[in-house]
């Protein structure tokens, strides 16, 4: 049987297509294998363990999402105390991590500076603080939590019936106080005569991590609700925040969550939460690393980048006046448009 020229061309095209498909699959396999073999990341969490339903869980979720989206693999470790931060990072490096996500913020700044000099071939990313120096292998991610806290302060002041609101912080540090200055300024913007109170868990217990001490957090919040007549308290204390939520529930008052959407933890007792999309920022920076777009700089993320926000009021929308929600929307746009410049501790 004779094969016509048309048939010959058709057969040739089929062969080329099959060869091309095999080549593409081969290349994809090589890329995936390369990612699995060489893109080992190490996550050093903040103080405390996972399952805090806040900060550390967001860090871990960011790594899981990166694994699913980008094909990287990772290991993680948690420091038991501030002094263990450097050893925790070194442990990850010793286990083969080529890229370090230093999730502990302020207490990992000095260790990263020291280790980045010792290991110039390893990339380090500090979450939630500035680097001491932006060496070629160092970057950091900072959130404008002060912007979302400004909105929380405005909403709390508008909603307060006692005209007293406040904050329970884990520690008296720059990162925690960045929430406070935004919260304070937002409250005073909409209600200049509002009274604000604050206290820190570290003032009452030096043996237990202030980020994982719900008992002391409960005592502080209970005292603020009863003695200071506060009716809305903003918790900025990670897992300790459950103590504040329980105190709010017991006193028939309200609290405000932090980092993740915590409104569901005690439905109806949490007015809103100040959300920081730490998980999304980790996917962003790992994607940059994998695609050779890493830059030794600070990545600054706020309302405009959808990296911070208030939660969607799933359990409290019916108790908030629509006019107050409209005002929050207006303030949000003013911040994005730079018509309102929110103060910051950084």
Report whether pLDDT(18) > 90: no
Instruction: Identify whether 15 is part of a domain.
Output: no
| Claim to verify: residue 175 and residue 73 sit in the same structural domain | no
| Claim to verify: residue 95 and residue 61 sit in the same structural domain | yes
Number of H helices, E strands in the chain: 10, 12
Instruction: Identify whether 13 is part of a domain.
Output: no
Domain count within the chain: 2
| Claim to verify: residue 197 and residue 332 sit in the same structural domain | yes
| Claim to verify: residue 187 and residue 270 sit in the same structural domain | yes
Chain segment 318-340, per-residue pLDDT in tens: 999 999 999 999 999 999 999 99
| Claim to verify: residue 136 and residue 254 sit in the same structural domain | no
Report whether pLDDT(52) > 90: no
The residue with greater pLDDT, 297 or 207, is 297
Instruction: Identify whether 209 is part of a domain.
Output: yes
Chain segment 226-273, per-residue pLDDT in tens: 999 999 999 999 999 999 999 999 999 999 999 999 999 999 999 999
Q: Which of 12-16, 291-295, 327-331 has the lowest mean pLDDT?
A: 12-16
Query: What CATH number is given to the structural domain containing 210?
Result: 3.40.50.2300
Instruction: Identify whether 161 is part of a domain.
Output: yes
- Specify the pairing of strand 123-127 against strand 99-102: parallel
- 3-class SS at 13? helix
Q: Radius of gyration of the chain from Cα atoms?
A: 24
| Claim to verify: residue 208 and residue 323 sit in the same structural domain | yes
Instruction: Identify whether 196 is part of a domain.
Output: yes
For 3, which DSSP code? P
Q: Are 149 and 234 contacting, i.e. CB atoms less than 8 angstroms apart?
A: yes
Q: Which percentage of the chain shows pLDDT scores above 70? A: 89
Percent of the chain that is helix, strand, coil (3-state, to 5) = 50, 20, 35
Instruction: Identify whether 10 is part of a domain.
Output: no
Mean pLDDT on 98-122: 96
Which pLDDT value is given to residue 7?
55
Distance between CA atoms of 44 and 57, rounded to whole angstroms?
A: 12
Q: Which percentage of the chain shows pLDDT scores above 90? A: 82
CA-nearest of 303, 207, 266 to 255 is: 266
- This prediction's pTM: 0.83
Chain segment 132-188, per-residue pLDDT in tens: 999 999 999 999 999 999 999 999 999 999 999 999 999 999 999 999 999 999 999
| Claim to verify: residue 96 and residue 210 sit in the same structural domain | no
| Claim to verify: residue 255 and residue 297 sit in the same structural domain | no
Supply the range of the domain harboring residue 192: 146-275+316-336
| Claim to verify: residue 97 and residue 161 sit in the same structural domain | no
| Claim to verify: residue 295 and residue 218 sit in the same structural domain | no
| Claim to verify: residue 287 and residue 211 sit in the same structural domain | no
Instruction: Identify whether 344 is part of a domain.
Output: no
Instruction: Identify whether 182 is part of a domain.
Output: yes
Which pLDDT value is given to residue 13?
47
| Claim to verify: residue 262 and residue 286 sit in the same structural domain | no
Mean pLDDT on 99-110: 94
Mean pLDDT on 186-202: 98
């Amino acid at each position: 049987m004779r094969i016509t020229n048309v048939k010959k061309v058709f057969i040739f095209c089929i062969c080329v297509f099959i060869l091309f498909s095999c080549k593409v699959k081969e290349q994809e396999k090589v890329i995936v294998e390369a990612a699995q073999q060489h893109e080992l990341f190490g996550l050093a969490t903040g103080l405390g363990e996972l399952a805090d339903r806040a900060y550390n869980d967001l860090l871990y979720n960011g790594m899981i999402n990166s694994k699913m989206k980008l094909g990287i693999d990772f290991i993680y470790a948690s420091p038991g105390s501030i002094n263990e931060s450097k050893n925790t990072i070194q442990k990850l490096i010793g286990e083969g991590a080529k890229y370090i996500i230093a999730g502990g913020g302020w207490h990992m700044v000095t260790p990263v500076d020291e280790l980045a000099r010792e290991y110039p071939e390893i990339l380090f990313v500090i979450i939630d603080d500035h680097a001491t120096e932006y060496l070629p292998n160092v970057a950091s991610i900072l959130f404008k939590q002060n912007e979302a806290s400004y909105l929380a302060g405005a909403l709390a002041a508008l909603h307060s019936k006692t005209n007293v609101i406040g904050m329970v912080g884990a520690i008296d540090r720059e990162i925690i106080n960045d929430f406070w200055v935004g919260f304070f300024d937002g409250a005073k913007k909409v209600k200049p005569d509002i009274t604000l109170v604050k206290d820190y868990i570290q003032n009452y217990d030096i043996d237990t991590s202030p980020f994982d001490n719900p008992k002391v957090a409960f005592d502080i919040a209970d005292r603020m609700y009863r003695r200071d007549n506060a009716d809305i308290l903003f918790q900025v204390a990670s897992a300790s925040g459950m103590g504040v939520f329980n105190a709010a529930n017991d006193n028939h008052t309200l609290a405000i969550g932090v980092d993740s959407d915590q409104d569901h933890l005690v439905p109806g007792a949490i007015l809103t939460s100040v959300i920081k999309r730490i998980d999304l920022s980790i996917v962003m920076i790992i994607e940059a690393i994998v695609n050779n777009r890493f830059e030794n700089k600070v990545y600054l993320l706020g309302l405009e980048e959808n990296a911070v926000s208030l939660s969607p009021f799933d359990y409290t929308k019916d108790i908030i006046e629509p006019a107050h929600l409209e005002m929050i929307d207006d303030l949000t746009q003013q911040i994005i448009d730079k018509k309102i410049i929110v103060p910051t501790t950084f």
